[in-house]
Amino acid sequence: MKMMAVVLIAVLFDLQNANLSTEKKPESPYRAESSAYAIHGKDGSTYVTENRSFRFAEVLGDSGNYEAVLLLEETYHNERTDFMEGVRGKATVKAWTLERGRQRELRWIFHETGNEGEVEGRFFRVTAWGCCDIPTVYSYYNVLTGKKLYVSNSDLLKVWWDGDGPQAWRYVALGNVENNKFNQPPQLQYGTDKKVTQRLSVVSAREYYDAPQMFVAINEQLEKSLDLRGSPRNFVIVLKYQDGVELRIPVENDAIRPETAVLPKGYLLRLES
């Protein structure tokens, strides 16, 4: 019995070594360094964090099949100062294309005002935290190209047309597209995750902090998304303010129709290039 046990152990040891010898070795790891420090002054201190991290993103092509595996490196530099409101932030995001057996290739890089970010479908969304009467700002980039598309003060609204893959979706955004220029009217933006096809400024006497809620609808039911597969490509964008004022802006055949919008007195839709 002892001899059989010794033989069995030897066989198992040889098999384990064989499995180890055929295991694939991992590639050299990618590394990033984070830091935190304080800057002390006479009137107070500034606390700084610079967080770097990686993530892999599998991105769909237009047909709905996976087009690329990307390695994203994200850097968020945030500063908070004593006796000052809010957290100032800058985001830098880099994307590399990964292919087996080849060195990673830098695909794009962007810099944006913001405090944090995340992947949403084929978008990369950077969030700049709001404070006091300054609203939260979301900046949406195409994750395949690194191109900036939408700026919004709320989540994108989504409409699903007939078809397969990401190109069947349409998106609606409303926000101040230029950072810290709150004397400009907010822009209504409409398009795909590759291109904004229409931009219209919503001109009124309202202050920037008096922003409406945004909905989509095909009747009186207000929604944050619509599934219009098998239906005409018609719906209404509804902007609803807290005081009850409501703007109804039709979309017909995949285009905003400002000429037939229902607008209260004192409101104007101005087409932007």
How confident is the model at residue 102, as a pLDDT?
A: 80
Q: Cβ(249)–Cβ(264) under 8 Å?
A: no
How confident is the model at residue 64, as a pLDDT?
A: 75
- Greatest CA separation for the chain: 98
Backbone angles phi, psi at 156, to 5 degrees: -65, 140
Q: Which two tokens stand for residue 208?
A: 């920037």
% of the chain beyond a pLDDT of 90: 66
The answer on pLDDT for 190 being more than 80 is: yes
How confident is the model at residue 30, as a pLDDT?
A: 80
How confident is the model at residue 63, as a pLDDT?
A: 76
pLDDT tens track for 59-98: 888 877 887 889 999 999 999 998 888 899 999 999 999 8
DSSP H or E run through 77: strand 66-81
How confident is the model at residue 13, as a pLDDT?
A: 46
Q: Which two tokens stand for residue 134?
A: 């300054």
In angstroms, the CA 157 to CA 64 distance is 20
How confident is the model at residue 192, as a pLDDT?
A: 96
How confident is the model at residue 3, as a pLDDT?
A: 46
CA angle, 104 as apex, 30 and 193 as ends, to 5°?
105
How confident is the model at residue 93, as a pLDDT?
A: 98
Does the pTM exceed 0.75? yes
Calculate the average pLDDT of the chain. 88
How confident is the model at residue 31, as a pLDDT?
A: 84
The answer on pLDDT for 205 being more than 90 is: yes
pLDDT category, 23, cuts 50, 70, 90? low
User: CB under 8 Å to 139, separation ≥6 — which residues?
Assistant: 112, 113, 114, 125, 126, 128, 148, 150, 151
Q: Please state the rounded mean pLDDT for residues 219-229.
A: 94
The answer on pLDDT for 170 being more than 70 is: yes
Q: Cβ(121)–Cβ(67) under 8 Å?
A: no
How confident is the model at residue 62, as a pLDDT?
A: 81
The answer on pLDDT for 8 being more than 80 is: no
The larger pLDDT score, comparing residue 205 to residue 24, is at 205
> What residues does 196 pair with on adjacent strands?
191
How confident is the model at residue 36, as a pLDDT?
A: 94
How confident is the model at residue 46, as a pLDDT?
A: 94
The answer on pLDDT for 254 being more than 90 is: yes
